[in-house]
Each structure stands twice: as C-alpha cells, then as structure tokens.
Amino acid sequence: MVQTSQATLIGYWLTVILAMGLLIVPWSTPVLYLAPNWVLLILIYWALAIPETAGVGKAWFVGLLVDVLTGQLLGQNAFAYAASIYLSIKQHKRIRHNPIIQQSLFVCLILLVAQIIVFWIERINGQIMPMLSWLTVLTGGIVWPVILLLMRKIRIFSY
Amino acid sequence: MVVLSLALIIVDQRSDTLKPLRDLLSVFVYPVQYVVSLPNRLFNNTLKSFKGYKELLSENKDLKRQHLINSAKLLKFADLEKENIRLRSLIDSSFKLGEQVLVAELLSVNLAPYEHVVVVNKGSRFGVSTRQAVLDENGIVGQVAKALPLSSEIILITDPNHAIPVQVNRNGLHTIAIGSGLLNQLNLPFLPNNADIVPGDLLITSGLGGVFPQGYPVGVVSSFVEQPDKPFAIIKAEPSAALNTSRELLIVWNNDQVIPLSKQVEGEGNGTD
C-alpha cells in the first residue's frame, strides 16, 4: 500500500468540485450535447493514478452528489460512476503503460459503459435520451489527452 | 455498492422518502451552482451599471406609462372580479381567490441537456413546495419539480415529459398541451380534425388538475394541420412566456380558500348595495 499525501487528497476533491462546476456550465444547445462528462473523466484519471485512494466508494459518493446537482434520480450516476471506476481500477496496471491514444480508446469504452447504465435507468424511468447525447462518449475520449497532461502538470506542481 | 444504488434508484423513483437525503446533499452542492452562475450575473450587473443616463430616462418614462395603463386596467378588473363572483354565486359555483407570488431569480446552470429543467434561487426555506405553478410576466413557465432547501428545480412546459391542461380562450375548448422538447413549441395532440381552433387562438390554463391557477396565458396556436386519415390533427402552439430570456420568475401560491357560496355572498352583496 502506498500512503497518499494530504495534498493529493485535497487535489482530488478540488478537481472533482471543479469538474462538477464545469458539468453545469450553461452552453448553447449544440455545444451542450458535445460537452464531455468532466466529473467522470477526472475520476478515471485519479483511479488510474492513485487506485489505492481514489476508490469505488468515493466515486459512488461523487456520483450521488452529481445526481443531486443535476436533479436526476438518486443513485443513477452513482451506480454508473462506481461501475466505471471499478473497471478502471481493475485495469489500471495495464492502461497506465499504454500510449495516450490507446488510453483514449479505453476511456471511451468506460464512458460508454457509464452512458449505457444511465441510458437504461432513464429508459426504465420513462425518459428517452436523444441520440445526440451519445456524442459525449466520443468527445470524452478526445478530451482525455488534454486532461491527462494537465493533471500531470498539476500533480507535479503540488508535490 | 450496486445493490445500494439500485435500492436508492427504486426508492427514489417510487416515493418521497429520500427527500431529506437529497435536501442534505443539495446544501453541499448549492455553492457549486452559485459559483457557476456568478460570471453571468456579474456580467449582467456591470452591463446595467454602464447604461447611459438618457437610456435610463427613456426607460423610466416607458415604465411609468406602462404603469399608468396597467393600473387603469386594474381598476376595471376589480369591478369585473366582484361581478364575476356575484354571477358565479347565482349559478352556484365556487370561485377561487387570488394568488400570492414570490419572485425568484434564475441560476444560470444547466442540468441534463435533454431535459427542460431550470434552477432558481428560492427553495423550501422560502416556503416553496413541489407542484407550484411558475410564471413570468407573459405567461406560464412551468411548475416546481423539486423544492430543495436553498434552491428549487423548475420543469418548463416545453419539457417532453410535461403536460398542462389548457383551454381555448375564444370558446372554452378544453385540451392538454404537451411539451415538444423545443423551447418555442407546444403540441396539442388530443384534438380531432374538426375541432374549433385556428392559428392565433390564445390558450389559457383551465385550472383542471389543480396545479396551475385558472386563466393565465399559456401560448398562442401557431399551426393547425388536418390529418384526414388519422383521428387527431397536428396542432402546434408557441408559449407566451419568454422561456429562454426571462431571468426573474414568479412562483405562485394557489390560495385554496374558496369564496363561500351563494347565501353569504348574497348577504354581503345586499349589505354593500
């Protein structure tokens, strides 16, 4: 077990809160559909970087907060986030050493899993998500390299 | 974890028991919403403070004129209301008293992109509760979907999952207007091909269902397409409320006190005559 420092933990929560803010920034409608799921991307980053600390439990709690933030059914994002973070932690040793492009593909896959879970729950609840909302999966993958490099910079800075 | 979230989802879908939890978490989340909406608000405020003197003068003049016209109309309205109550008491039907309103300001945050839900800065601490009607200066905006302690979520009438009972102002035809998912369109899917409705007709709330107070404008019929091979026509309406531009909304309290029926009103009427 690696002991994670207090600073990293603070960084974890700060970036998550920042991502939550980004999630609810009001864009115009076409951009809205393109906006990636910032919170989940940040969570995946932390799950790959410090899997011992950024566990499934924390991801579940963050998901619950996002549910309240966006006024959706309690537990739907929590479920999706917990499942996708579980997958990322399972695979983190393999993924960490891949080149960035392959990581992007993997992230796309995880975002897709999360989106499918949300889609199912919404469907059972009687909501039908428009086809356009699947685009966030792609944009998430495209944005991943930026997030990765940016977060690395921040982490080096914080040490 | 999976079981826990599934349990949460099911309980939250079927009942209100999780409201305390949602309320508690929403207090943590509210600062995020507030901070995100801050730049927009600051921008608007600075814009306001840079308005020219002349502009303010002319605006003031306009507002004064508007106020004069409105108060003149209100004079007439008070008289009409009394007459309406008297007439209703004659035909033995009850009449609801006026409503109380609270002004709430929109927080410029976006929730799920496919839902037409907005957040305002007044919550259950101000006495807001679910299923209250929300207006702006031009008409019905929507209803309160969730009342959290510091904020509340308002579902717009154009949300695909929202339906509002309406009435054609011209002839009293009842129907239901359903959101289309577009901010400038409502659908009226339950009227037959021979219904007496034409583009330009004003739709008002009918008061059925008990959520929306009666008589507020909802929209104006914009198109009517007959479908000879189908039972129902395709009718579209445009909401009266400025759904995408209004920043201040009015939350309405439906006053449940009903004016007492004939005898007492008659007595009152005799006294004043």
Q: What per-residue confidence (pLDDT) applies to B208?
A: 85
ipTM: 0.73
Contact B236, B270 (CB under 8 A): no
> For the domain B163-240, what is the CATH superfamily, name and number?
Rod shape-determining protein MreC, domain 2 (2.40.10.350)
Tokens of B69: 């016209």
Q: Where are the domains of chain A?
A: 6-158
Residue with the larger pLDDT of the pair B67 and A29: B67
Whether the per-residue pLDDT at B186 is higher than 90: the answer is yes
Average pLDDT over residues B172-186: 89
Closest CA to B218 of B194, B191, B188, B245: B188
- List the single best residue of B29, B40, B146 to mutate versus A (max A Cβ within 10 A): B29
- Please report which confidence band the pLDDT of residue B167 belongs to, taking 50, 70 and 90 as the band edges: very high
Which chain A residues have a beta carbon less than 8 Å from that of B18? 74
Which chain A residues have a beta carbon less than 8 Å from that of B161? 126-127
Q: What per-residue confidence (pLDDT) applies to B257?
A: 52
* Model pLDDT for residues B88-113, shown as the tens digit of each residue: 777 766 555 566 788 888 886 766 76
CA separation, residue A133 to residues A34, A36, A145, B115, B185 (Å): 8, 10, 21, 12, 21
CB contact under 8 A, A82 and B1: yes
Whether the per-residue pLDDT at B38 is higher than 50: the answer is yes
Whether the per-residue pLDDT at B265 is higher than 50: the answer is no
Q: Does A158 touch chain B (CB under 8 A)?
A: no
CB contact under 8 A, A65 and B18: no
Q: Does A119 touch chain B (CB under 8 A)?
A: no
Which of A72-76, B96-100, B186-190, B246-250 has the weakest average pLDDT?
B96-100
Whether the per-residue pLDDT at B55 is higher than 80: the answer is yes
- The pLDDT mean for chain B works out to 82
Closest CA to A59 of B263, B5, B136, B100: B5
Q: If interface means Cβ-Cβ distance under 8 Å, which residues of chain B face chain A?
A: 1-2, 4-9, 11-13, 18, 21-22, 25-26, 28-29, 32-33, 35-36, 40, 108-115, 117, 119, 145-146, 153, 160-161, 181
Whether the per-residue pLDDT at B11 is higher than 60: the answer is yes
CB contact under 8 A, B22 and A56: no
Whether the per-residue pLDDT at A128 is higher than 50: the answer is yes
Q: What per-residue confidence (pLDDT) applies to A158?
A: 60
Whether the per-residue pLDDT at A90 is higher than 80: the answer is yes
Q: Where are the domains of chain B?
A: 163-240
Residue with the larger pLDDT of the pair B122 and A127: B122
DSSP-based three-state secondary structure for A25: coil
* Model pLDDT for residues B240-253, shown as the tens digit of each residue: 988 877 788 888 88
Average pLDDT over residues B197-220: 88
Whether the per-residue pLDDT at A43 is higher than 90: the answer is yes
- The pLDDT mean for chain A works out to 86
Which chain A residues have a beta carbon less than 8 Å from that of B7? 75
Phi, psi for residue A82 in degrees, rounded to 5 = -60, -45
Whether the per-residue pLDDT at B263 is higher than 50: the answer is no
Which residue intervals of B50-124 are DSSP H helices?
Answer: 53-90
Contact A112, A10 (CB under 8 A): no
Phi, psi for residue B101 in degrees, rounded to 5 = -130, 160
- List the single best residue of A22, A68, A129 to mutate versus B (max B Cβ within 10 A): A68
Residue with the larger pLDDT of the pair B46 and B222: B222
Which chain A residues have a beta carbon less than 8 Å from that of B5? 60, 63, 75-76, 78-79, 82
Contact A154, A11 (CB under 8 A): yes
- List the single best residue of A15, A61, A69 to mutate versus B (max B Cβ within 10 A): A69
